[in-house]
Chain A
Amino acid sequence: MKSSVLGILVSSVLALASSSSALALDGDTYIHDPSTVTWCDGNYYAFGTRGGGLISSDGWTWRNGAVRPGGGAAPDVLKIGDRYLVVYGATGGGLGGQHSGQILTMWNKTLDPASPDFKFTEPVVVASSDGTEDCDAIDPSLLLDPTDGRLWLTYGTYFGFIRLAELDPKTGRRIEGNTAVNIAIDCEATYLMYRDGWYYLLGTHGTCCSGPNSTYNIRVGRSRTINGPYYDNMGMDMLRGGGKLVVAASGRFIGPGHFGLLDLGDSVQKFSCHYEADLDHGGHSVLDIRPLLWKDWWPVAGDNFKEGTFVIQSERSGYALELAVDTVPMPQIRHRLAGGPSGPPGPNTSSAPLPPVAPEAPTGPVALQEVATVAKDWPAGNIKVRLGDYIIRPHQKWTITPVVGHGGYPGSPFFKITIAGTDRALAATADAELVTVPAFTGAPEQLWRIDQLTDGTYRIMPKAVPNTKGEFALSAVGASTISLVKFDPLGDQARWTLRSP
């Protein structure tokens, strides 16, 4: 992974374009059928098929070490109260060539295998399939309904129906007398989530387990009630194969599957999945964490932030982040003016400039201002920043580059933000303001976390503010004034659009 990041760093020096290869997670990320990434006692955990799983302290760099007994396939985990309920499928899914399977649950007070409290309860069977019925009990997932506290289990694969069953959130056992409901066909690795009055059923379509030839992709339908019917954007019932695309293959990654919601709060939602094949790592199956966006009340996958050169534009004012330096004028093209000597009198008889009209003769391209041309006149030391009208000037273009070896956050490494073509870097100050320093040093206040929010805009936060605790985000505290304040998810003050310059 580090080699690919290094490659990106090198290429970013050579090109200002924003296109690049996507970043995958760092460290040991090999896993298949991961559970929802879950936070516990200072670490993130993802469990996989056949037991075991991955651990990360920051959600970016991962290592082996999670422990899950029971073997089987495709676990999920959900925190309920102060305990963790782990669910997994034993047999099923064609294991042994047949379709008899069992779904089991077990509790643990912690997911940390080093904790003295780490002890799983005896697993109990909560659902099963007999091998001939229209269901194969595998690929379970859990939803604790935020509206009423009821606990729901979905399970199943291509062999027949995806089923919904109710569990007791106190015991993790099946509610006595509960009958499973068929809610989808032709998918697997289903997952339920709730948002704004809708239940969303996500399922993985396509072919599993064929490496770079896998066609896995994640789709979704939604319903006003937990029992369905779940319809896609075309009104097609998931019981008839419906499903709106959430994420498919992209970049160097083929076959995303096994969705799991990672809600970080403050309008930052991400999802975990695995790719059937990471072409940068031998085509192995790897974990990823990506932004989850919402468009017209449908979830769609965002992309983890990639390096490139951007305008950092405020959603509040539309103004662009810029160095507080003189704007150097560009040579102005002289135009024939309306109402000029050869034309009729114009309506504007004041002394104000007249609007330009078509030039008298064709003109060629006008060169953009080069940073080297203007930067020589900038102060040598720290330079403040502000927001201003964007007019394609060098002091308004920012190159954002991943930084190796300084950790990260779920789905991404930290980034540096520098004036394009220079090493002048954006930094947080000890009084929670902003400045640019002449050269990037790797100090925590020069490292930036860039999260895509659910509306597609970005939240930009320093890794640290010197001598200060708490989290701060780049915010347009005035239309043209920028500072660091606590992120407010309800407004546009701290939302930023990163667009091509």
Chain B
Amino acid sequence: MNLLHKTLTLLCVTAVASASVNADDAATPSRSLAPYFTPAAPGPKRPDKDGFVQRWLLLEPINKPNRSNAGFVDTYVRKELPREYFPGQFTVIPRDGDRVTAEGEELVWHAVDATDFNVKLFRFASGLGKRVYGVLFLAVTVIDCPQEIQNVRLAVGSNSASMWWVNDQEAVGLFGDRRMVMDDCVSKRLTLRKGRNVIRGAVINGPGMSDFCVRFIDESGHPVTAFTTTLEPSTR
């Protein structure tokens, strides 16, 4: 029995009226990313033993009011998630501390290492004192492959809907009111080129928790781990 959906219907009516954070839709007590994230450490980072990518640049949540996750049908997601919310969104690889303006708010990119296999966006937002419901999260990471890797698939689980791109090509979309299930949706076979490969993701959420998990799997469904992630130095 999760009354959240019903209750937040009322809360979000209030929330959508204001672009600023209010007491009802922001988690209040915690103002720390710990224990869910640490600042991205210098140097390359390998995925975890199951192949999950844990190093990401996350943008503070874009205000995207939605009363319910039930509205995340294919058409909505395909219209709203690939939309450019700020110049260079799909071309620039951000750095920690970079600032952009989206939906009338200045937002900051944060380079983080998730401490678990999944990237807990709700905790990211709440830890920064930002709104946690009715939001769109953007995520970017760069993976370095010592050699080309063919026939891998991007495997994603997300709460709620999301879209993902690898090297500027749409790889996989997750539509509807989704729960985060490991390897929930998987891309077609793709090739990770030798050197840098850029992964971009957009995760939208109305009420409730929000998170994602991303990894590459091979033809047998086994995790691909022969790469590292390295982010550019911070601009802070």
Contact = CB atoms under 8 A, between A and B. Distances in A.
Contact of B157 (A74, A95, A241): A241
Given A160-B209, A207-B69, A213-B70, A258 B179 contact: no
B179 A157 contact: no
Contacts of A187: 179
A299 interface: no
Contacts of A208: 1-3, 5
A187 B1 CA distance: 10
Given A132-B29, A210-B70, A33 B1 contact: yes
Query: Most B CB atoms within 10 A — which of A89, A131, A187, A241?
Result: A241
A159 B3 contact: no
A209 B30 contact: no
A157 B208 CA distance: 10
Contacts of B6: 94, 209
B208 A209 contact: no
Nearest to B208: A158
B116 to A, nearest CB: 10
A157 B184 CA distance: 20
A234 to B, nearest CB: 9
Interface in A114-150: 131-132, 138-139
B66 interface: no
Contacts of B179: 158, 186-187, 205-206, 241
Contacts of A89: 1
Name the prevailing secondary structure of the B interface residues: loop
Given A158-B208, A186-B159, A207-B70, A95 B180 contact: no
Contacts of B184: 241
Interface residues of B, number: 33
B27 interface: yes
B4 interface: yes
Contacts of B183: 236
Interface in B106-120: 117-118
Interface in B169-227: 176-177, 179-184, 207-209, 213
Interface string A205-230: 11111100101000000000000000
Contact of B181 (A74, A138, A186): A186
Contact of A258 (B1, B8, B68): B1
B30 A132 contact: yes
A124 B15 CA distance: 36
Nearest to A258: B1
Contacts of B1: 32-33, 49, 73-74, 89, 93, 138-139, 157, 188-189, 208, 258
Interface in A458-487: none
A210 B68 CA distance: 9
A159 B208 contact: yes
B25 to A, nearest CB: 8
Contacts of A157: 1-2, 4
B5 A207 contact: yes
B2 A236 contact: no
B94 to A, nearest CB: 28
A186 B213 CA distance: 13
Interface in A149-173: 157-160
Contact of A209 (B3, B117, B159): B3
A240 interface: yes
A383 B27 CA distance: 74
Contacts of A158: 2, 4, 159, 179, 208-209
Contacts of A236: 181-183
The interface size bin for chain A is: 35 or more
Interface in A244-280: 258
B48 interface: no
A96 interface: yes
A94 B7 contact: yes
B176 A209 contact: no
A209 B5 contact: yes
A51 to B, nearest CB: 13
Contacts of A138: 1-2
A368 to B, nearest CB: 47
Interface string B6-47: 111001000000000000100101100000000000000000
A210 B4 CA distance: 11
A185 interface: yes
Interface in B55-102: 68-70
Given A158-B208, A241-B181, A242-B181, A210 B11 contact: no
B11 A97 contact: yes
Contacts of A94: 2-8, 207
Contacts of B5: 94, 207-210
Contacts of A242: 181-182
Nearest to B7: A94
A77 to B, nearest CB: 15
Query: Most B CB atoms within 10 A — which of A131, A189, A209?
Result: A209
B33 to A, nearest CB: 14
B3 A240 contact: no
A253 to B, nearest CB: 18
Nearest to B5: A209
A49 B3 CA distance: 11
Interface in A176-203: 185-189
A311 to B, nearest CB: 41
Contacts of B157: 241
A138 B7 CA distance: 15
A158 B176 CA distance: 16
A245 B3 CA distance: 23
Query: Most A CB atoms within 10 A — which of B1, B4, B27, B159?
Result: B1
B178 to A, nearest CB: 9
A283 to B, nearest CB: 14
Contacts of B176: 215
A434 B1 CA distance: 48
Contacts of A241: 157, 179-182, 184
Nearest to A159: B209
13 contacts: A32-B1, A93-B3, A96-B7, A97-B24, A132-B29, A158-B4, A158-B179, A158-B208, A186-B180, A205-B179, A208-B2, A208-B3, A236-B182
Question: Nearest 6 pairs between A and B by C-beta?
Answer: A94-B4, A241-B181, A74-B1, A33-B1, A186-B179, A240-B182
Interface of A: 32-33, 49, 73-74, 89, 93-97, 131-132, 138-139, 157-160, 185-189, 205-210, 213, 215, 236, 240-242, 258
